[in-house]
Amino acid sequence: NMQENGGGGQRGGEKEGAEDERVAIQGRKDCRSHAASLLLRLVGFSYLVAFTSVFLQAPGLYGPDGLQPIWRIEEGIKSSQQGFLWRLRPESLGVEEWLDLMCVIGMLVSSMTMCGMCSSPFFLVCWVLYQSIFLVGQTFLSFQWDIFLLEVGGLVLLFAPLTSYGSRRGPTQLSALCLHFCLFKIMLMSGVVKVQARCPTWMGLTALHYHYASQCIPTPLSWFAHQLPNFIQKLSVVGTFIIEIPAAFLILLPFRQARVWAAWLNIFLMVCIMLTGNYTFFNLLTATVCLSLLDDASFSWRWKKRTRRDKRPSRTPSKGLQNTTSVLHSEQFLKSLHELEGREWSLRSCTKSFMEVLGWSLPLCFLLVCSSFMFVFHHNQGSEWKGWRQECQDVAAMRTCLWKMLEFGLDVEVAFTEEEMDQWIETSLFWCIPMFFAHFLGQAVREAAQVYTTSRSILRRCW
């Protein structure tokens, strides 16, 4: 009986090991499923914020007595090819009621995507509705975030699964690359426009001295950010330039470590902007697109154990079989432990570790080199700093002097001109854009071959 139990336990252990291996292989294939699900839910939340905002402000903006009534442009919208929803309006409903109905439907569908129905048909409904509202939005829907929502919403149609069942599998790499390029475009343009505007506050690194007090809708934290020392304000502008211009090129590189650096840096910048200013869903949507640069390994502290626990088969073996299996597993563990103690570091493992450390450090070195060429840090020797330096002789005034050192003692200046920045960006685009499109083309060929192989095997089974 013990031999039978032992044999059964061994067979059970072999089956469990095969099952674990299958789960591990499936986990590698679905290494983007959780990050993609979070991205799709946040895009649905951005749609919800957009539809709700239009619904609440529509009477004052587009009503009969609004600032820009819809009835004035209704005929022009109906004649356009993109305004087919306006041609479907029943005669019993007015233009304003039809706009409110589209907003309500958009809020309901976007709420469904937030609840897990993250499939392409739901996002298609949201995109068509918001695109129709965008046509009549005129001045009040012509901002950067409205256009960006339509761009991201169109690409999400490729990124999202066709059905809710497909949401358990990760998206295709080809659709993720489309979102990467969209994020690269918005970040690089945001940084370059600050340089090409020839604004003395941006080139003098003093833009944040006025930004918190002059922005449209400041938050309660804006007052505290406005009180920061002069050097911290300038250092924040330096960080903005670094993240929006040099770090944007990390998005295009076909290396996971570079993309992870770019994702977290951009998410950090977007969170800081959201805390100190209200720009509706723009910063949230930008941080959401950054999730396309990440995989589930980037959230291993949250999802790795959960994925293994969810995918492990639920079996309840008998008590004798369970005891025999545990003894066999203990013997296998001790045997592997002795083998591990006697094993030396191989050249392959050392090379793999070195390449991994090198892959994580190279993007950081690239950003540090760019910052050293773009900006100059120096010690301020002005009269204000000399006066405060004399007060540092008193120990009780050390805290005040530290604050004043950041205010007057340290300084940073721009070390590039507009022409030099244009030349650097042109050279970087010359190398990064072909590399990105070569990676995009290779991924397209690879996924086309996978589709061909899968369809061929299905046809053989049907035949």
What is the tens place of the pLDDT at every residue in 162-203? 886 545 556 788 899 999 999 999 999 999 999 988 888 998
Mean pLDDT, all residues of the chain: 78
pLDDT at 260 over 60: yes
* Helix locations, 277-397, DSSP H: 282-290, 300-311, 319-342, 347-374, 383-391
Q: How confident is the model at residue 31 (pLDDT cuts 50, 70, 90)?
A: low
* Helix locations, 215-277, DSSP H: 220-226, 230-244, 256-276
**What pLDDT score was predicted for residue 354?**
77
**What pLDDT score was predicted for residue 16?**
45
Beta-bridged to residue 412, according to DSSP, are: 377
**What pLDDT score was predicted for residue 335?**
59
Task: Identify the helix (H) or strand (E) that includes residue 100.
Answer: helix 95-114
* Of 344 and 435, the one with more pLDDT: 435
**What pLDDT score was predicted for residue 329?**
53
* Of 77 and 333, the one with more pLDDT: 77
Whole-model pTM: value is 0.78
**What pLDDT score was predicted for residue 412?**
80
pLDDT at 333 over 70: no
For residues 246 and 371, what is the distance between their CA atoms, to the nearest angstrom? 9
Highest mean pLDDT pick, 6-10, 134-138, 344-348 = 134-138
**What pLDDT score was predicted for residue 78?**
61
pLDDT at 307 over 80: no
Q: How confident is the model at residue 267 (pLDDT cuts 50, 70, 90)?
A: very high
Tens-digit pLDDT profile for residues 88-127: 788 788 888 888 999 999 999 999 999 988 889 999 999 9
**What pLDDT score was predicted for residue 328?**
47
**Percent of all residues in the chain with a pLDDT value above 90, rounded to a whole number:** 34
Highest mean pLDDT pick, 9-18, 194-203, 282-291 = 282-291
**What pLDDT score was predicted for residue 25?**
35
**Percent of all residues in the chain with a pLDDT value above 70, rounded to a whole number:** 72
Q: How confident is the model at residue 9 (pLDDT cuts 50, 70, 90)?
A: very low
Q: How confident is the model at residue 319 (pLDDT cuts 50, 70, 90)?
A: very low
50 vs 114, 125, 426, 454, CA distance in Å?
14, 14, 36, 40
pLDDT at 393 over 60: no
Of 28-32, 134-138, 237-241, 412-416, minimum mean pLDDT range: 28-32
Cβ neighbours of residue 309 closer than 8 Å, sequence gap 6 or more: none
pLDDT at 150 over 90: yes
DSSP-derived 3-state class of residue 195: helix
* Of 374 and 74, the one with more pLDDT: 374
Tens-digit pLDDT profile for residues 206-220: 999 999 999 988 999
Task: Identify the helix (H) or strand (E) that includes residue 378.
Answer: strand 375-379
**What pLDDT score was predicted for residue 41?**
94
User: In the predicted model, what is the mean pLDDT of residues 63-75?
Assistant: 79
**What pLDDT score was predicted for residue 163?**
80
User: In the predicted model, what is the mean pLDDT of residues 314-323?
Assistant: 49
352 vs 294, 297, 348, 356, 418, CA distance in Å?
21, 18, 6, 6, 42
**What pLDDT score was predicted for residue 85?**
79
pLDDT at 66 over 90: no
* Of 137 and 7, the one with more pLDDT: 137
pLDDT at 4 over 90: no
**What pLDDT score was predicted for residue 80?**
63
**Contact in structure between 137 and 74 (CB atoms under 8 Å):** no
